């Protein structure tokens, strides 16, 4: 689905990604793990075209992405949910969702909204409420729902668990797993919360100081005591 080959990205003298290669397979959740500053956010920003790579290649469904601008990504089937839950608090939940549909290149259909409301019932129940009334977990659902409105085949998710109670994180990850199973969506999930991420992911890639130090099945990574202690913090 998504293949990175020797991808390197820097900020001036800071080498944030160094020769990163891996594949995120279709219909799977691939977790990108690592400590603060490992390069996880830079990886997502480079894949979605927000940050220019110094070298290397990115292929989505066999198509080279190198010089595709970030605003063309939805048309290519990729949606990026950045860290920080950027909901527009002055708009209603439904208005926020409709914004996500703009990248589709056609009018938002009631069925597009219903699909999100089926997944996240709380958003449907409160569709006319202003987004500032939502809790952190509900905001995370809203930004995922907004990304789904563009009809992506590949979803890039940056730290959805940040600041949420374990129960809410488990709920969001369960929904994500259901989505992958029902729609065949592919997900690249960046997480510092490695234990939770590996419990939902099929595959994991561990970054340390911008380099890949492990790339394996999620279960294999979770069972590797040395790796967990050295890089995953659990
Ligand atoms: N805008 C920037 N300017 C300069 N250096 C940056 C910038 N953004 C990130 N970096 C540096 O690049 C490296 C990778 O950062 P990045 O944010 O991608 O890591 P991360 O794994 O996502 O960590 P975090 O979980 O803290 O966001 C770090 O050394 C960081 O200090």
Q: Give the pLDDT confidence of 80-114 residue by residue, as tens digits.
A: 998 877 899 999 999 999 999 887 777 889 999 99
The response to whether residue 42 sits with its C-beta less than 6 Å from ligand 1 reads: yes
How far apart CA 19 and CA 55 sit, in angstroms, is 8
- Give the pLDDT confidence score for residue 69 in this predicted structure: 67
Enter the tokens of residue 12.
Answer: 């001036």
The response to whether residue 192 sits with its C-beta less than 6 Å from ligand 1 reads: yes
- The phi, psi pair for 220, rounded to 5°, reads -65, -45
Q: Name residues of the chain where pLDDT drops below 50.
A: none
Q: How far is the CA of 37 from the centre of ligand 1 (A)?
A: 5
- Give the pLDDT confidence score for residue 45 in this predicted structure: 94
Q: What angle do CA 37, 40, 43 make, to 5 degrees?
A: 125
- Give the pLDDT confidence score for residue 103 in this predicted structure: 73
Q: What is the CA radius of gyration of the chain?
A: 17
DSSP 8-state symbol, 93? H
Closest CA to 78 of 6, 186, 160: 186
- Pairing mode, strands 55-60 and 186-191: unpaired
DSSP 8-state symbol, 47? H
- Give the pLDDT confidence score for residue 71 in this predicted structure: 76
Residue nearest to atom 3 of ligand 1 (CA): 11
- Each residue's pLDDT tens digit, 201-225: 999 999 999 999 999 999 999 999 9
How far apart CA 59 and CA 66 sit, in angstroms, is 8
Enter the tokens of residue 134.
Answer: 């939502």
The response to whether residue 82 sits with its C-beta less than 6 Å from ligand 1 reads: no
Edge-to-edge strand list for the sheet holding 14-24: 14-24, 2-11, 55-60, 63-64
> For ligand 1, what atom is nearest to the CA of residue 42?
18
pTM for the structure as a whole: 0.94
Contact 40, 204 (CB under 8 A): no
Q: What ipTM goes with this model?
A: 0.96
The response to whether residue 9 sits with its C-beta less than 6 Å from ligand 1 reads: no
Contact 172, 199 (CB under 8 A): no
Q: Domains in the chain and their CATH numbers?
A: 2-84+154-232 (3.40.50.300)
How far apart CA 4 and CA 232 sit, in angstroms, is 22
């Amino acid at each position: 689905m998504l293949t990175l080959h020797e991808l390197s990205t820097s900020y001036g003298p800071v080498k944030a990604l160094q020769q990163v290669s891996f594949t995120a397979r279709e219909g799977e959740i691939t977790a990108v793990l690592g400590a603060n500053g490992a390069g996880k956010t830079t990886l997502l920003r480079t894949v979605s075209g927000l940050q220019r790579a110094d070298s290397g290649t990115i292929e989505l469904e066999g198509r080279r992405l190198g010089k595709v601008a970030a605003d063309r990504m939805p048309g290519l089937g990729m949606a990026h949910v950045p860290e920080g839950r950027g909901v527009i608090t002055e708009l209603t939940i439904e208005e926020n969702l409709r914004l996500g549909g703009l990248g589709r290149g056609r009018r938002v259909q009631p069925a597009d909204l219903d699909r999100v409301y089926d997944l996240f019932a709380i958003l449907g129940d409160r569709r006319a409420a202003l987004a500032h009334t939502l809790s952190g977990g509900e905001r995370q659902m809203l930004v995922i729902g907004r990304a789904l409105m563009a009809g992506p085949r590949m979803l890039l998710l940056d730290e959805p668990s940040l600041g949420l109670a374990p129960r809410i994180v488990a709920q969001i990850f369960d929904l994500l797993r259901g989505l992958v199973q029902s729609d065949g969506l592919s997900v690249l999930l960046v997480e510092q919360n490695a234990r939770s991420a590996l419990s939902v992911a099929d595959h994991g890639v561990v970054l340390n100081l911008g380099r890949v130090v492990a790339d394996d099945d999620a279960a294999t990574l979770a069972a590797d005591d040395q790796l967990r202690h050295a890089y995953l913090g659990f």
